[in-house]
Amino acid sequence: MIELKNISKTFHQKNKKLKALNNVSLEVEKGEILGIIGFSGAGKSTLIRSVNLLEKPDEGQIIINEIDFSKLNSKQLAKQRKKIGMIFQHFNLLSSKTVSENIALPLELDNVSKSEINKKVNELLEIVGLQDKANEYPKNLSGGQKQRVAIARALANNPYLLLCDEATSALDPATTQSILELLKDINQRLNITIFLITHEMEVVKTICHRVAVIDQGEISVVGKLKQIISNRENDTIKQFITSKKMTMPPELKIQNTTEQSLDSFPLVEVQLNGEIAFEELLSIIYDEYNISYKLLKADVEYLGKSNFGKLLLHLKGSAVENNTIIEYLNEINIQTTIRGYAA
Ligand SMILES: Nc1ncnc2c1ncn2[C@@H]1O[C@H](COP(=O)(O)OP(=O)(O)OP(=O)(O)O)[C@@H](O)[C@H]1O
């Protein structure tokens, strides 16, 4: 339904050239939620903005429902854009207008009658669960509520496609989940195709049917997340999973010694490599090596049959026993870091 064919884009700044997209080809199927994940500067925004030609590629074609967008004149393009909704990280609401007025805006611009606007705005308020906020101004809303208004506004013209540009990046984890649920609902109930970009693994894990990884302007892999992970094909995805830094529990009094003393035990950060389930690993430490430990933290992603992520273990064996287990982990390619010692 949406075909991006050999899209390239280079930005020129003074004497510098920056190739933001390099020969990107991608298809988004009707009804699916496709997510593009990539690190900062990878080209995500440039790519999503190319779909409705907010960013004009230097080369390539954008074909949506068999219409070649690259060949449209500005009037034709404006007409097509009405059927493509877009939401942004910072919501882009008009602060001088109420929730209802913000949602009504695209319809007013389209000269829809007042009574039809009212009917549609009420419908949209219900879809996004904001009936009680109709007359509030954006400054009185939470981030999640603002994004709900932006979603309602993006749906005003009954789009077949919704573009989401880091839509949950400014929100806390619980609000992120609620917005993702809303997007999932919109996708299923209204049959709207969703194309999103994100740097959050949580987003692709929660709602995307397929995911594409972008790195330095190139798509390195496209597929179902589980397939990508379980085949361990993609370094970028692995970095996403393992790059989160583990914070130490604040109640621990950490000693900055380099060796275990009589009254202290090592705090070991264990980086899972996807080859062994973390429950199995813990049972090896306790049942096979007879070393007691306290699991202080687990930040583990279950993807397919693989476990990725980190554990923070407070090993409670003798110095020799603890070293034995660390050596064993390293032998099976599990990276360990001693983050300090504590009683
Ligand atoms: N208007 C512009 N002028 C010059 N360079 C640009 C422009 N827009 C983007 N770039 C450059 O193109 C590259 C890709 O940028 P883009 O914003 O698409 O990345 P991104 O993956 O969305 O990053 P982020 O997650 O940080 O927003 C970056 O190196 C960026 O600096």
The per-residue pLDDT for 243 is 64
Asked whether residue 253 is assigned to any structural domain, the reply reads no
Q: Mark whether 284 and 194 lie in a shared domain.
A: no
State how many domains the chain has: 2
40: pLDDT strictly greater than 70: yes
Residue ranges making up the domain that contains 54:
2-238
257 pLDDT band, cuts 50/70/90, is confident
Lowest mean pLDDT among 106-115, 191-200, 303-312, 319-328: 303-312
Which atom of ligand 1 lies nearest, measured to the CA of 43?
A: 18
The per-residue pLDDT for 226 is 75
Q: Mark whether 270 and 232 lie in a shared domain.
A: no
Write out the E strands in the chain: 2-13, 16-28, 33-37, 59-64, 67-68, 84-88, 161-165, 193-198, 210-215, 218-223, 265-273, 293-303, 306-315, 335-342
141 pLDDT band, cuts 50/70/90, is very high
Q: Mark whether 233 and 272 lie in a shared domain.
A: no
Residue nearest to atom 11 of ligand 1 (CA): 20
Is 199 near ligand 1, meaning CB less than 6 Å away? yes
Q: Pick the residue with more confidence: 267 or 263?
A: 267
Asked whether residue 247 is assigned to any structural domain, the reply reads no
Residue nearest to atom 30 of ligand 1 (CA): 41
In the chain, the percentage of residues whose pLDDT exceeds 70 is 96
Is 182 near ligand 1, meaning CB less than 6 Å away? no
User: Using alpha carbons only, what angle is made at residue 201 by residues 303 and 87, rounded to the nearest 5 degrees?
Assistant: 140
Is 164 near ligand 1, meaning CB less than 6 Å away? no
Task: Identify the CATH number of the domain in which residue 299 sits.
Answer: 3.30.70.260
Asked whether residue 251 is assigned to any structural domain, the reply reads no
Is 20 near ligand 1, meaning CB less than 6 Å away? yes
Q: What is the mean pLDDT of residues 332-342?
A: 90
Asked whether residue 245 is assigned to any structural domain, the reply reads no
231: pLDDT strictly greater than 80: no
**Using one digit for the tens of pLDDT, what is the confidence trace for 178-204?**
999 999 999 999 999 999 999 888 899
Which letter, b or e, does each residue of 145-167 get, where b requires 16 or more Cβ atoms within 10 Å of its Cβ?
bbbbbbbbbbbbbebbbbbbbbb
83: pLDDT strictly greater than 70: yes
What is the ipTM for the molecules in this complex? 0.96
244: pLDDT strictly greater than 70: no
Phi and psi, residue 153, nearest 5°: -60, -40
287: pLDDT strictly greater than 70: yes
pTM for the structure as a whole: 0.80
Average pLDDT across the chain, whole number: 91
For a pocket test of ligand 1, which of 15, 16, 37, 46 has the largest count of ligand atoms closer than 8 A to its C-beta? 46
